[in-house]
Structures are given as structure tokens and as C-alpha cells.
Structure 1
């Protein structure tokens, strides 16, 4: 502290300045001049175009009487949202590729009412974080009411079929939307059929400043859950009983020292995922009448592996990170373990969510050598079946991915996954792409990348270490790579490169 640090590029903070624009153009010219001289660039382009040209799907969700899913026919700029009635032919519900002539307007999220009769969707124009919200009837796609404008960093939560909760900031003055400061988030309620100017401030604002505020409504539409934070890790938590008009907003978690989320409820019984007094997370229950931390009771206690919880069909799915790969266990709502899910291999599984009355759910499994595959899971029998298999031109049997461990500068054991073609001679001459992150509590788990196929099929190695600062081993792992310990992140990355050099 007290040390002067030169900042000769401060002038670039003004994104509207003429000299900033000139600098960007000059940088682009240098880049394009270099790329234009690569003799095999066109061959790479042609190969990538061929590799990317296959149908891609999202896992389906049931909303009302329809099943919705996203699909890309191959080389479309944006996925198209489809819906299907029973076993009938799918139909286009929303096609973001048609939102604007230049294709720069995207679908940035959609939320349905419980009965599926209304949908509120967000659009982003030109990649902006400032969104618009459009409400429509799903029966005929007729727009309902006015378009909400200037919505930023917001989810959408329906209150019955009457209105939606959303979050935003006061918009900066014209000309400074990109660089202008937006730091006081506000939660509003919009009643359908009324102008946005009449929207009611529910939480936040100058009297209770928070940088990030989010809201959700429990599936039974009984509770409004509010999360408030000023950083990207840690949040306060509140609830309001929507069945009692005029009921107060009650505090559950008073500070931002832990990460907390209500994942479900049964009547007044709340299920919360938290890392309060549990760096690797646990699942607790508490009665909404007295929801404070002192009354929490463990349902799924903390383990040595990081926990993430989802619910569907009256079942709890505990997805653990075990050395940065997925381990999934299924429980009933009383906390009794039913089974461990048999996954196709070592990799990443995500999904296992849905509504309380669902009899089946879906999950996606992937790894560095396993293209994303969607599985349907039967809750009654505990069996999985392939729902959609990726059509990418890639033969997993020709490649392998193995996990190794190495010691960082201070002796900390770091995991790293190495992916390459089977039979590859490790002689120190293979092109190697070393990729890592190590920040914001983000976990880098195995995931297939079409872009990496060219590297692998030409004898390259893809190496991914899990650095401190991420969330692979919980909050202690995250804290070991932030603030005054940030150097650990770079030491971990350097040690990964040194390991690769030593172990040819």
C-alpha cells in the first residue's frame, strides 16, 4: 500500500473517445494482418465449418401442455426455441435469428407461468446487458401489455398470472451506457396491463443499496425469495409470504459471509443450499415461520466434496464435485438416500431438475472426449436412457482423457486433465494447449468442445488444470486464490506448465 503504480492506459476507459476508437481499429489491423498470413487458416476454417455443421439440442422442459426445447440445425447463429404437443410435430415458438435484420438481437431468457399460458422473455440488442422484456400468450403468441425496457442483470419471476418481478438499475445518461456506473440494484413488480412507470419498488434502492438483487417465487407460489449482494460471492436472503397480503419481507440470512439459496419448499418447510459453516455446502431445512440460521437443521450434511442441489418430482439430487468431476446421488425429501446415479463415465453431469409432479427428468453428460448427450431419467426406476445424442463427427474411442495431480509452488496438490489421441508418443514435441481459469469461485469441469477437435486429431494435447480461486474444492479453495493470495493462481498455472515440460 502507498506504492505508486503507473496507469498509462487510463484514457482507454472512455469508450466513446475518438482516440479510443482509433486504438481499437489499429489493434484490429495488427491482428488481422497477422492472421491473414497463416497459410493453413482457410483449411482450419473449412474443417471447423464441417465439424460444427450438426444438429444440437437442449434438454426439454414441460410448460403447461407443451414440451419446449432449443435446437440449432447446424450453422445457425442462434438456437431456435421449439415446442411440441405430445408426440406431434415440433413447431417454432421463438426464432431469435429473425428478431433483427442483422441478427444481433438475441433471446436472453424466458420464463413461463405455472400453467404455461403466459411467457415473459428477454431480448438483448447488439449484445447489450440492458434488456427488454416481452410478455405473450403461449396459445397464439399475442403480445400482452407494453414491453418492459431498461432491465439489467435480472431474472423474471411470475406472481401467478398477474405480473412479474424483475430487477434493474437507473440507466446512465445517453452516450455512457457501456461505461456508466450501475451499482444500486432495485427489485420491481410489474402488474400486467399497467405501464412500466407504475411498477412498484419491492426491495433495494438508495435506502438499502445492493449491487445485485434477484428474486424467485416458489413452485407453489407461496413465497417470494429475494437474494441481495454486493459481491459475486456471498448473499443475504429474504422471504415474503405471498398468500398474506401486506406481509413483511423477513430476513433469513443477515450478511454476505455465505452463499445461500432456497431450492424448494413443502408447505412452510424450506430447503436451503448453503455454505454457512460448511465451505463445501450442505442442504438444510427450516420452517418459514422462524427461518433464521440458528434454526437450520442438516438434511444432507457437508462432505469433503462440493455439493450442488436440485429437485424434481419430490426427489432431491445431490451433485458433487469429486476432483472436478460429477458424482450424483438421489434422495427423498426426508433426506434418505435412494441411489447413486450411474453415469456413462468420468465427466460432467448437469440437469436433474423440473417440477414437483414430474415423473421423469433430463440431464446432460459430457467430458473432454464425450460429446454432450441428453439422457432421460425415470424417477421411479432410477434408469437412464439416451434422449438425444450429439451428431458431431468425432470418434471418442480414438482418444483418451486422464487426470493427473501435480504440486504447486507451495506444495498444494492440483488436479489436471490431459486429453489426446490414443497412442500419442509423449516426446515433448506435441503442440499443447494449456487452459485454466482460477477465479470467481467458478469450477472448470470436463466438457466437450468441437473447436478442440482440430487440435486433438492433429496430435495435440489439451491440458486443463483446476487452479485455486475456482470452486472445485469449495470455499477454502476459492479463498486460497483471491485478494492477497491471488499469486497462488499464477503459481498453480506456472507449475502446470512445468509439470508438462518435465513429464513429456
Structure 2
């Protein structure tokens, strides 16, 4: 269930292209563009927290359904796009992004029934298309999400096949919303078998044979489905051929079973259902159901102890679990279903000094160790005997090596900040890797370099950062630089190539990613060190990263931008207010910016493990109040040039966070640096965003950044 955590909004698509001769030309002065911001009404709204009165004059912007909010969005976008239209090289950036994006991209293949399936994008298609082929036959289109809607904003979010591959269920997202519809089709004919299941959210599709599947959702909330609180998640079973209204609640129907996040995993042999229930994005309980016995009842395996445990594989009476129970860096254990209590678990892959992620396939287990934010792969058998280290082509990130027990060949992809994603096949018996699908990107990795450094944060903690740029970049303090960070929810930022970074770097820009506390790069302890009353550590780590880049002469405050999305948007919002003189540009995307009220919207209450809440205690309120971006904008403050970005259909981090923060900044900003908000319509938190919109967004973001650094031409 940890896939329910907030996610960074950076798109991890592989992309690239050939390099032009031109590069940015920084100037010491820039022309200013006069801006008249829309008038944002202020109301007399005040909340009391432990004796402290806190004004919230823009509360009305939380109503995403009101006509007044809609008009405010239109007015802000008119000002923002009016400003962006004045940037002379905005179209040049858009053209270059389009050129670089335009190459064929593939996923690793997977087998279901008699077919091999894979995802492919011809280059500029808004959504990836699912293809299939039988044997060596010609590939055919299986699902084309580009035909789901005219504007490409309806995306395929999940595809799952029944046991024998004869039936497929796929989930679609409309307008970027986390609410899904699930459509069930005959895989051979591709004909829909029954009415779509609706109002499904934060869910896997876990098949039980060919009979039906388990899925999760909330009752549809009263009020706005995009912002109203969702608090009780339920696991359902849908039997094919029956109405959704008849679907049985397996877990979550009672007050005793109330959880914010519930999910089910079915063992590959269809014998067992393992149910995970969680109150926050960290920690879960476990329940076991024997599916082979019609009269079986739920068996509690473990209470929520604040640790994370999920199903990896199964073999006979053993379920193989990944857990950080008594192992902050995670381990793999075997649970005998006849004695499932944690005290009886047997360690298969022991905890090591490096954080462990794991996969399975071909009758083996695979440890994906995170070593200073990069991947090391090791193959084990189910008894925990090491088979081999799996050599990678370079230092970077590898993902994959998962499949069915019968598979003899698995696949993994490799990438880093300067290497486009490449797919390799892996023979599970011999351990041999072969190139399966080279990237079609016209990008010369040899002309770029990535360097990992370890800098010192405020309290003496060593923090890693990877800095990537063209070879031969002069360290003169004038290189336009984007510093990216996240620092939360146990999420690890590992190297990944993207079109956007390629465009930025080929223009002479520097791209730096700091692996801040709050993330998962060094295990649970690293995560905890950036949560609740220690959240300031994350901000201090980010500030120290900026200071390192300046001290090492990669850049200077006049050429430094900070960027982050979701929890990373909070990071940017907090840091730009704490050290405004350190940065020229701030780019907070879909950010959590009202730390006193975030838990009142959608699934926000589940983030309390990382943040705490303003109602938790006087001490927690005061801590949140001291850094909450919305509440720390100072009258007459001189803040960096700021482009806030959000989507009007974001039902994970509701756009009201960004609306209110932008209004507050516009009202109080002194000096000439612009404060703009770019609101993507019919878009959500980021997943499923059409390629065409991503190209426009990055062109606007990079154009805004360079323009405010004084760059007059490319």
C-alpha cells in the first residue's frame, strides 16, 4: 500500500535528442515586465488553534465548484499566459522539447495467456499504446488510450489480466483524477463484458483465477468529489457477471476495520489473499484469508506497528514478505500460513547496510539495493542463497526483474540522469543479460557527466547530491541551475533520464538532485529524520545543497532555481520563504502549502505520519505554523520569481493549496520579481498527463526560469 504515498510530480519518462549549437547567454540585467495581478477577495475568516488566532482570508478558494473560484482561475491564467507570451524564446524551447520527445519508446514485454504484451509510444502520442503479439507474429494494438478522449486527458492507469489471460480489467483516469473506472473486456475479442465499475480510488486489481477480482475504494463523498475528505477505505470482491452493487466488502465495512488505505494481494497460486490496512502512508496491519476454503474467515497476522510489510512471492505454504519489522533497511521473510504470526517469520534475505527493495520471477528473488541512491542487483533463491550479483552497464537505476514463476527470461530497464532508458533481458538460469531494446533517443551521453557529491547539512549530516551537466561547463558561478528535491514519505530519488532535463542541460544548464532526509535512500531512520518535529531537517538539507552549488561555483543566487512537486512543492514553498535571497526562481508544483488544513481534504489525513497535524497538540501546531508556506509570507518580503503550478482536477493535493499561496504571495511580494500561478485545466496531480501538455508545461517553466535569470536569447 505504500504506492499510495504522495509522489513527486517530475515525469520519469525517458527522452532525449540531438544537441544544437546554441546555449543560454546569461546577462547581468533584465527587462522587467509590468504585471497587474487579479484582485483576490479577502474574507474575515479566523481559526483558533490552542489560543492562537490564525487568519485564512482566502478560504473561499477552497470551493473548487464555485463560479467565483472558476473566474479567479481564468483571471490568473490570463495574467500568467500574458506574461509567458512575452518570453522571446518560449516557442524555441517548445520546439526543442517536441523534437527531443519525438522518438519511439517501449516498455519491457510481459506474457499473459497466449500473447506477449508491451507498451509503445510512437514519439509524440499523448498516451502510451498497449500492443500484443502471438509468437513471432505481427504486433497489433490491444488498447489505445489516445482514443479514450479527444484531448488525450483520459489515461490508462492500470491493466490486469485474469489467471489464464483470457480476461482483462483496465482502469482509466479522466482529467487526471484519482477516481477511476474499471472496464472488463474479453482479451481475445477486446469486447466489453459488462458495465464499467465506477468510483474506484487508490486501488489494485487483484484477480482470483478467472472468476473475479479484488479492488479498493471509498464511499463517494458528499460535496466535491475532488476535495471532500475520504476516510474509510474498503476492499471489495467483484464476481464477473454480477452488478457492482452486489460486490462484497471483504474488509473495511465496520468501525473496527476503519482504515484510510486498504489493499489486497493474491498469491500467484490463487490460494491466499493478504490484506493490508493503514491509517497513514507509513505502517500497515495484515490479515490473511485462505481462498481455497469457502468457509475461511479473516485471520489477523499483525497489528499496525508503524512498519511496512507487503507480499513479494509465494511458494506452497510460504508467503514471502518484504518488511522493515526490526529491520529499518528492510528484509525478506518467509511466513508459514499455518503459523503466520511475526514471531514465526523466517528471514530469507537479511537486512544489510543498504536499503532493500525486492522483486520476484522465474523462481527466484531479486534484491534491488539502494547504494547512495543508485541500484545494486543481487539474485537469490527462495532459501536465501545468493546466486549472483547482476552487473549493470553503469552507475544508475535499474527496475524490473519481476514476472511469473514459470518465466525463464525476465526484463529490466536501466537509466541515469544522462543515459536514456534501455531495456535488458535476463536469463534466470545463466544470469546473462543481453540488450533487448536500445533507446531510440538521439542523445550522446558521452557529452555529459554526472558527479555525486556529499555535502554537509546544518546539523553535520552528510547528504548526497548528483549534479549533471555538459562536459566542459565552466564553473564560473553563472550557470543556470535547477536544484530538485522531495524529502518525504520514504520515497527515494534515484537517477532517471528525462527529455526536460536533456533540454535544460544541452542549453548549458546544470541539473542537481539532492537526496534529502525524509526520503527512503537510507532506510526508515533516514525517513523519520525528516518527519513531524524534524521536518526542518529536510529544509536545512535543501538549503545546504544550494549553498554547496554556490560555494563550488556551479552557480550563484542570480542563476539558481529550486523545483519540487507535491511534498516537494512544500519543500520549495518553505525554503523560498526561509532563505529568499538564496534563489532567483522558485517552482513549487502541486504543493502541500497549507499545513494547518491539509488533513481536511481528500486523503490528506493519511499524511500525518510525515507531517503531524495542527490539531494533534499545541507543540505540533506551533511547529507546523512556523514553517507552513501559506502562513509565513511576510508583508513586503522580497521573494524569488515564482511560478506556482497546479491542476484544477488535482484530488490528491487539492489546488486550493496553490491558489491560496499564490494569492498571499501576490498580495505581499515587494520588488519586481513576478509571482504567477499556472493552472492546468482538466488535469490532476500529474499521472496520465498528456505528452502535449507536458511539453507546454516544461517550455513555460524553463522559459520563466531563464527569463528571470536575465537570459535574453538562446
- Identify the TM-score tier after normalising by the shorter chain: over 0.9
Aligned to 1:106: 155
CA distance in 1, matches of 2:118, 2:176: 23
The equivalent of 1:171 in structure 2 is: 220
Which of 270, 273, 277 in structure 1 is aligned with 2:326?
A: 277
Residue 362, structure 1, aligned to residue 440, structure 2? no
Deviation, 1:125, is: 1.9
SS in 2 for 1:394: coil
- The Cα of 1:152 is off from its aligned counterpart by 1.3
Report what 1:375 is aligned to. Answer: 424
* Partner residue in 1 for 2:528: 479
Q: Which moved more, 1:248-257 or 1:465-474?
A: 248-257
1:503 maps onto 2:503 in alignment:
no
Residue 82 of structure 2 aligns with which residue?
Answer: 33
CA distance in 2, matches of 1:277, 1:5: 41
Give the Cα–Cα distance (whole angstroms) in 1 for the partners of residues 506 and 153 of structure 2. Answer: 33
Equivalent residue for 1:185? 233
Task: Give the secondary structure class of the aligned counterpart of 2:53.
Answer: coil
Deviation sequence 1:379-435 (CA, Å, 0-9, x none): 111111111111112100101101000000000000000101111111111111111
Q: What whole-Å deviation, never above 9, does each CA across 1:256-294 have from its counterpart, x for those lacking one?
A: 410001111111112111001111001111210111111
- 3-state DSSP of counterpart to 1:4: strand
Taking the TM superposition and a 5 Å limit, the aligned residue runs for 1:88-107 are 88-107=137-156
**Residue 581 of structure 2 corresponds to which residue in structure 1?**
none
What does residue 245 of structure 2 align with? 197
Q: 2:402 aligns with which of 353, 360, 365?
A: 353
Deviations 1:10-62 (A, max 9, x none): 22211112222222222212221221111111111111111000001111111
Which one of the candidate residues 323, 328, 332 is aligned to 2:377? 328
Q: Structure 1 residue 217: deviation in Å?
A: 0.8
Determine if contact 2:413/2:422 at 8 Å carries over to the other structure: yes
Match of 1:312 in 2: 361
Matches of 1:371 and 1:70, distance apart in 2: 17
1:243 matched to which residue of 2?
292
Contact 2:265–2:311 at 8 Å: present in 1 too?
no
SS for the counterpart of 2:463 is strand
Aligned to 1:12: 61
User: Would you say the 8 A contact 1:362–1:374 is kept in 2?
Assistant: yes
Give the equivalent residue in structure 1 for 2:174. Answer: 125
Which residue of 138, 155, 158 corresponds with 2:187?
138
Structure 1 counterpart of 2:688: none
1:441 aligns with 2:441: no
**3-state SS, counterpart of residue 123 of structure 1:** strand
| Secondary structure, aligned partner of 1:5 | strand
Structure-2 residue corresponding to 1:266: 315
Question: What SS does the aligned partner of 1:498 have?
Answer: helix
Q: How many residues align?
A: 503
Q: Which moved more, 1:339-348 or 1:204-213?
A: 204-213
Q: How many angstroms apart in 2 are the aligned matches of 1:161 and 1:21?
A: 46
Name which of 282, 303, 307 aligns with 2:352. Answer: 303
Distance 1:140 1:312 in 2: 29
TM-score (norm 1): 0.98
Matches of residues 49-68 of structure 1 in structure 2 within 5 Å? 49-68=98-117
Greater fraction helix? 2
The CA distance in 1 between the partners of 2:148 and 2:66, in whole Å, is 30
Map residues 63-78 of structure 1 onto 2, 5 A cutoff: 63-78=112-127
What is the distance in 1 between the residues matched to 2:471 and 2:315? 50
Residues 1:396 and 2:449 are matched in the alignment: no
Question: 5+ unaligned residues in a row in structure 1: which ranges?
Answer: none
Q: Deviations over 1:477-497 (max 9, x none)?
A: 110011000101110000001
Equivalent residue runs for 1:428-467 within 5 Å? 428-467=477-516
Q: Deviations over 1:348-400 (max 9, x none)?
A: 00001000000010000000011000111111111111111111121001011
- SS of aligned partner of 1:488: helix
CA distance in 1, matches of 2:184, 2:366: 32
Cα distance per residue 1:416-457 (max 9 Å; x no partner):
001011111111111111111101111110000111112211
**In structure 2, what is the Cα distance between the partners aligned to 1:267 and 1:485?**
44
The SS at the match of 2:522 is coil
In the aligned structure 1, how far is the partner of 2:522 from the partner of 2:296? 40
Deviation at 1:341, TM superposition (A): 0.6
Give deviations 1:102-150, integer Å, cap 9, x for gaps.
Answer: 3322111011012111111111222222211111111111222222111
Mean Cα deviation higher: 16-25 or 305-314: 16-25
Q: Within 2, Cα distance between the matches of 1:231 and 1:381?
A: 42
CA–CA separation in structure 1 for the residues paired with 2:459 and 2:436: 46
The answer as to 2:270 corresponding to 1:221 is yes
Distance 1:80 1:293 in 2: 43
Give the CA RMSD over aligned residues: 1.2
The structure that is strand-richer by fraction is 1
TM-score, normalised relative to structure 2: 0.69
SS across alignment from 1:477: helix
| Residue 198 of structure 1, CA deviation | 1.1
Answering whether residue 298 of structure 2 is matched by residue 252 of structure 1, we say no
The 4+ residue runs of structure 1 with deviation greater than 6 A are none
Following superposition, the deviation at residue 9 of structure 1 comes to: 2.4
